[in-house]
Amino acid sequence: MPGELGAAVHAEALKLRRSRVPWATAGAIALAGGVGAFFMFVLQDVDRARSMGLLGTKAQLTGGTADWPGYFSLTAQTVAVGGLIIFGTAAIWIFGREFSDRTATDLLALPTSRTAVVLAKLLLLLVWCAALTVLLVALVLVLGAALGLPGWSGGVALRGAGGVLGTGLLTAGLAASYGLAASVGRGYLPAVAVLFLTVLVAQVLAAVGHGAWFPWAVPALLAGTAGPDAADAGPAGILGVVLVALGSAAATAAWWERADHSA
């Protein structure tokens, strides 16, 4: 298995390197970091933003502070919500492209075991999501310094970056469920439907105070998107995310091993 896994990882990495999808996801992450910096700029001086035409005269901004803790908090929330879409898109592409490109049957005919192929895809997905999260943290550090945000300290930076990276890790784990959806649905569209359904349900349940019971809402709750008074997801919520991630990985491997791919 180790030799097979290495060969499968190499093959999947070549597919990724030759695709434009990683650049698209990196661009989306960069845009997210830029939007966060824009909100920090506005919050620094709302009257200045209005005078520059960046903010409507009747617009009201609440719930944010233009400092380093506030920027890191906003970034963690961005990863929890926007990252679920971006990471989910990556998972859907990794698995769904085999069906849209009609390479699934050829892939299964290789001497490399199907489980090794699935594990290679999941490992690549994890590295991909981690790299995007690190990129976002780097952008936050650069943009926050350019804005001259107050409240900087080594402790604040470590806690803030750790919170963003932790949220990214949880969100990446949930993205594995979309790889399962793309496999069972044999392509992109069913998985995209599952992605938007889970994002919608997560937002609704978080808004009504029941998000802690829905794993796809847990990263957003931990990041504070529902406000400081929202119920904390706690260890049970994190355990739910871990179970979804491991269960999705196991189910995906089992599906590729046993399902009929002749159709």
pLDDT in tens, 50-92: 777 666 554 455 557 889 999 999 999 999 999 999 999 999 9
pLDDT value for 10? 82
pLDDT value for 9? 83
pLDDT value for 162? 95
pLDDT value for 208? 82
pLDDT value for 83? 92
- The rounded mean pLDDT for the chain is 86
| d(C-alpha 151, C-alpha 69), whole Å | 7
Who has greater pLDDT, 207 or 73? Answer: 73
Average pLDDT of 137-161? 94
pLDDT value for 101? 74
pLDDT in tens, 111-137: 667 888 899 999 999 999 999 999 999
pLDDT value for 63? 59
| d(C-alpha 13, C-alpha 20), whole Å | 13
pLDDT in tens, 212-233: 889 999 999 888 876 654 556 7
CA-to-CA separations, 154 to 6, 69, 144, 162, 216, in angstroms, rounded: 38, 12, 14, 12, 31
pLDDT value for 219? 92
pLDDT value for 108? 60
| d(C-alpha 214, C-alpha 199), whole Å | 11
| d(C-alpha 25, C-alpha 79), whole Å | 13
Closest CA to 139 of 89, 82, 72: 72
Element (H, E) at 172: helix 154-184
pLDDT value for 17? 86
pLDDT value for 90? 95
CA-to-CA separations, 108 to 118, 141, 219, 238, in angstroms, rounded: 11, 44, 35, 34
Statement: residue 166 has pLDDT above 60: yes
Give the pLDDT band of residue 263 (cuts 50, 70, 90): very low
Statement: residue 45 has pLDDT above 80: no
* Phi, psi values for residue 192, rounded to 5°: -60, -40
Average pLDDT of 35-64? 72
Statement: residue 178 has pLDDT above 90: yes
